[in-house]
Chains A and B, each alone.
Chain A
């Protein structure tokens, strides 16, 4: 039984796994390199605080099941995090081997073999807690909501996940770069998480439309908000009505989840933006065989928010960039986009930029992908009394996930603005503990 049937003939399936699973001999050799540090820095670098040296040592001793238990005890999304985490800037970035100018332990790859082995063998490690009779509504079936629901089940609470899409998993299903994780594995993880029991998944239900917040408040003892972010931000530039201009999140979702979705007759892709979503699209386009892939960013390489290691990969895969280029409009013919009109910018002290006069040029394109951010879902939650927002983010106490309306808790992108899956997993779990404590009258 699966929570959702994954469609075949998805475009993402054409992209290879860029970090393939280690074989057992490689895993053993790598696990044996681990120094088993005391109070290890890698643990502190992990938002979910996985006891990394312990799970690695268990791989080395041949206790693979125990290794997976240690990982999943801290992070029930350990399977996807093993593959999608930017380990270069988290656990592996803090490995003490870096201080020795030696390669850090391949923590992500070791986590992958341990968790996949447990999945392959159908091992479940956790049981539902003694029933408390409490019910929690979880809005959003992404990493934050799933982590929250699982932890609530361990505490003995029941939960109902309301997912607006017909497919659960959130960005793990719709947004993660396919060379890291593809849809079948994301759905596999959702199945695994729900197996603990006590979690009802209702897909295709939009809270606020199909069911009101008042109804949730009446029917449930607490509400967890893990709705993530909204649609791609559009750029209000001349020519935006031309066909061939698409939002990055929307394009990635179609590539990953829609049966028969094709790239079409596209030779030149231009990606607007300098964040990780922009680099994802760039790498995906390169991987799908697009001849010319250009990233356009108004500042320079050092200033972009995308990870350096990801951009280095992109360059090797054939991508190029236009730095200090600011889009000012789209060029088109017969209703189709043919290029992006840009002007040159230059640094003007601090984060300030100046437009270089008379510098307009056109970058030819038959597909333009906008990766300049996602809208916030503040308005969705505007009906709820007592919630506070800051810069469009739902404000919650980081210690327990509780919002200014005490019945509401939050985690994931809606709260943190857009971080990693592992942050969402950590925040969902923290919120579950917060809910548990609050329901017991502890907070």
Chain B
């Protein structure tokens, strides 16, 4: 039997799949429906001084027929009165005591933080998430990502919250910084019990070329929004991985950023997250996607012998290394399965114009020919090939011992002479 339940910095949840603080977690009615569908927790739409929104608010990017590969919003925090939200938090917790309800908060002064935190605890929230991430609108008022981007402010406000809170405090980080370790370490210094990341990335989703207005347009003008959805997942994975391997960030991580499938979720978990939060995919397809998140995760765990989520948290972290530690003598080359090849020759043009000019056309067939002596094993041909399993990257036993750049430098300094890397021709003519 596999057990999906988690204890995230003391917050208990039947599974690691939470709704992120966003429109899907705007009201108690929604969150209860989400719990019925199977979500383990929800981070409430950020509470604070109720705001007034503009229309329109969202923008999406489609790519070659796929809708919403990226998503952008200029919506602000809750537009509903604090008391209404608190009453609903109370009701949800009463009806769903085993699910995790996290109050996301964003206010300005120390007193405001103190008052709001008390109200949330009284309402029965299981934890707090400090919204230091929102990169549009609220940051102009000195909140959201304006705090997350400034480690000193991040540390200070975190310490206020921790001081006033008897429940776990999660700090939600912005990716709109140079190195996410800085605000994360600041949050930990401020006493945060956990961090969550990433919030959205500052973005302009597009431009209306006819009217010369960035999108989404609000009566002939626009502003930068926050970017999310599948396209940001690699950026989010990197930042989660950075914190996952940072010994100074010794608190649980909630991973966020383009999670849609169980595989996406597990990638975050393997890089150090112990819960994942989802927004865009729910905005696209509804709460029902959680069913496959759960089943897919369970099936993976059964197939690979994991019994708990904890056993998977950070599994890939030891293998997330520096470039300088990678083996320079490891060699791959591409092989084309002629039986599977459909002759599109995309590998040829990609290699010829975009890589190392080692995939040639044949006079006899449409199956290209790889010059293995020149192949640098870059993967480009395999990436562009439209046929599953047609091009494989094959390991070549070249007899050269493992040596990384860092080791190579050390041994050179000692006066050793060793062979590194594959030698391909350096000139084409």
Contact = CB atoms under 8 A, between A and B. Distances in A.
Given A28-B65, A38-B349, A99 B342 contact: yes
A320 to B, nearest CB: 38
A323 interface: no
A124 interface: no
Contacts of B221: none
A4 interface: no
Interface in B114-154: none
A218 interface: no
Given A35-B386, A100-B387, A41 B343 contact: yes
B361 interface: yes
B65 A38 contact: no
B342 A100 contact: yes
B345 interface: yes
B387 A32 contact: no
Interface string B318-358: 00000000000000000000000011111011000000000
Interface in A92-108: 96-97, 99-100
A63 B65 CA distance: 16
A205 B316 CA distance: 82
Contact of A41 (B64, B346, B366, B386): B366
Nearest to B347: A38
A60 interface: yes
Contacts of B346: 35-38
Contact of A60 (B64, B343, B344): B64
A60 B65 CA distance: 9
B349 A96 contact: no
A32 B343 contact: no
A37 B361 CA distance: 13
Contacts of B387: 100
B344 A32 contact: no
Interface residues of A, number: 16
Interface string A182-216: 00000000000000000000000000000000000
A41 B345 CA distance: 10
A39 B342 contact: no
Contacts of B386: 35, 100
Interface string A231-271: 00000000000000000000000000000000000000000
A356 interface: no
A38 B342 contact: no
Contacts of B342: 96-97, 99-100
B343 A96 contact: yes
Nearest to A25: B65
Interface residues of B, number: 13
Interface in A259-294: none
State the main secondary structure of chain B at its contact with A: loop
A380 interface: no
A29 interface: yes
Nearest to B368: A38
A29 B386 CA distance: 17
A38 B64 contact: no
Nearest to B343: A96
Interface string A10-42: 000000000000000000110011011111110
A99 B65 contact: no
A32 B349 CA distance: 19
A292 B345 CA distance: 49
Interface string B382-414: 000011000000000000000000000000000
Contact of B348 (A32, A33, A38, A99): A38
Nearest to A30: B65
B171 to A, nearest CB: 41
Given A38-B349, A39-B361, A41-B366, A96 B64 contact: no
B343 A29 contact: no
A307 to B, nearest CB: 24
A14 to B, nearest CB: 37
Contact of A32 (B65, B345, B361, B366): B65
A33 to B, nearest CB: 8
Interface in B253-307: none
A37 B345 contact: yes
Nearest to A96: B342
A387 to B, nearest CB: 38
A251 B19 CA distance: 70
B206 to A, nearest CB: 13
A33 B361 CA distance: 24
A37 B344 contact: yes
Contacts of A28: 65
Contacts of B366: 41
Q: Which one of B64, B342, B387 has the highest number of Cβ atoms from chain A below 10 Å of its Cβ? A: B342
Interface in B362-380: 366
Given A35-B386, A38-B349, A41-B366, A96 B65 contact: no
Contacts of A35: 344, 346, 386
B64 to A, nearest CB: 4
Contacts of A41: 343, 366
A99 B343 contact: yes
A173 to B, nearest CB: 38
Nearest to A33: B65
A33 B344 CA distance: 13
Contacts of B343: 37, 41, 96, 99
A38 B350 CA distance: 9
A39 B345 contact: yes
Nearest to A36: B346
B133 to A, nearest CB: 34
A60 B62 CA distance: 12
Nearest to B344: A37
Contacts of B361: 39
Nearest to B65: A32
23 contacts: A32-B64, A33-B65, A35-B344, A35-B346, A35-B386, A36-B346, A37-B343, A37-B345, A37-B346, A38-B345, A38-B346, A38-B348, A38-B349, A39-B345, A41-B343, A41-B366, A60-B64, A96-B342, A96-B343, A99-B342, A99-B343, A100-B386, A100-B387
Please give me the 7 A-B residue pairs with the lowest Cβ-Cβ distance, nearest first. Answer: A99-B342, A32-B65, A38-B345, A38-B349, A32-B64, A37-B344, A96-B342
Given A29-B65, A41-B343, 19 more contacts: A28-B65, A32-B65, A35-B344, A36-B346, A37-B343, A37-B345, A38-B344, A38-B345, A38-B346, A38-B348, A39-B345, A39-B361, A40-B344, A96-B342, A96-B344, A97-B342, A99-B342, A99-B343, A100-B387
Interface of A: 28-29, 32-33, 35-41, 60, 96-97, 99-100
